[in-house]
């Protein structure tokens, strides 16, 4: 059985990979990377962009949350990624939506907030970005027609959605997630492997 090393930062998308490692009962080591700090030479060698997650598997470097999650779930044949059928198609669609469209919208907001010091310039730009994020969450809410995003069981997409939904507290004005999104997140955070991830990373989840 492979041993893994995960480079992570609390509250980032790496939390979804951490949860998957717990879900598949993999043997792994954690390396915490503090947000806003200078990246070490070791980390930059593994990922020149200085981003997390980075997963080391048998000496091989894997990057990008969705790619790592898919790889692990396929390798361990875990039901968070169905093997075939409509549920698999939906899982991949939603997983990549949250890894790209939703994540990028939030990342753009945070990058702008950190780097534009003039409030008169930043405020209208950030307001537009916050409205875009709100529309994305409204789209998700409108598309949900089952207990979880892709059916009656949790999927990898639900894991990543739940991680990103917790970022709302850092946005002003905070996006309002719908009742169906909140219901899914409330169930996901109680899953043993997700709850263990929250505890290990010291993250308080706010619905």
How far apart (Å, rounded) are the C-alpha atoms in residues 90 and 157? 9
How far apart (Å, rounded) are the C-alpha atoms in residues 165 and 162? 5
How far apart (Å, rounded) are the C-alpha atoms in residues 161 and 157? 6
Percent of the chain with pLDDT over 90: 84
What is the predicted pLDDT for the residue at 45? 83
pLDDT for 23-44, tens place per residue?
A: 999 999 999 998 777 777 787 7
Place 169 in a pLDDT band, splitting at 50, 70 and 90: confident
Report all structural domains of the chain as residue ranges with CATH numbers, in order of start: 3-75 (3.40.30.10), 85-190 (1.20.1050.10)
Smallest Cα–Cα separation from 149: which of 176, 107, 178? Answer: 178
Q: What is the DSSP letter of 56?
A: E
Question: Are the C-beta atoms of residues 163 and 188 closer than 8 Å to each other?
Answer: no
What is the predicted pLDDT for the residue at 1? 53
Residue range 173-201: average pLDDT? 96
Question: Are the C-beta atoms of residues 12 and 186 closer than 8 Å to each other?
Answer: no
How far apart (Å, rounded) are the C-alpha atoms in residues 191 and 4? 22
Q: Residue 184 pLDDT more than 70?
A: yes
Residue range 178-205: average pLDDT? 97
- DSSP characters over 141-182: HHH--SSBTTBSS--HHHHHHHHHHGGGGGSSSPP---HHHH
What is the predicted pLDDT for the residue at 2? 61
Residue 93: count other Cβ atoms within 10 Å of its Cβ: 13
Q: Residue 190 pLDDT more than 70?
A: yes
Weakest mean pLDDT among 32-41, 86-95, 150-159: 32-41
Q: What is the greatest pairwise CA distance in the chain? A: 55
Q: Residue 50 pLDDT more than 80?
A: no
Question: Are the C-beta atoms of residues 136 and 105 closer than 8 Å to each other?
Answer: yes
What is the predicted pLDDT for the residue at 104? 96
| Mean pLDDT, the chain, whole residue set | 94
Q: What is the DSSP letter of 38?
A: P
């Amino acid at each position: 059985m492979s041993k893994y090393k995960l480079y992570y930062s609390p509250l980032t998308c790496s939390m979804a990979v951490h949860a998957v490692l717990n879900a598949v009962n993999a043997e792994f080591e954690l390396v915490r990377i503090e947000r806003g700090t200078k990246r070490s030479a070791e980390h930059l060698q593994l990922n020149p962009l200085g981003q997390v997650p980075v997963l080391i598997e048998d000496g091989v470097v894997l990057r990008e949350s969705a790619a790592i999650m898919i790889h692990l779930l396929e390798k361990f044949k875990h039901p968070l990624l169905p093997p075939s059928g409509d549920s698999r198609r939906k899982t991949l669609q939603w997983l990549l939506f949250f890894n790209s469209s939703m994540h990028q919208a939030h990342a753009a907001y945070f990058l702008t907030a950190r780097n534009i010091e003039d409030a008169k310039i930043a405020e209208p730009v950030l307001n537009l970005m916050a409205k875009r994020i709100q529309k994305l969450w409204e789209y998700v809410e409108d598309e949900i027609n089952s207990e979880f995003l892709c059916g009656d069981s949790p999927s990898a997409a639900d894991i990543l959605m739940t991680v990103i939904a917790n970022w709302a507290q850092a946005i002003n004005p905070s996006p309002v997630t719908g009742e169906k999104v909140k219901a899914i997140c409330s169930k996901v955070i109680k899953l043993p492997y997700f709850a263990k991830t929250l505890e290990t990373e010291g993250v308080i989840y706010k619905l």
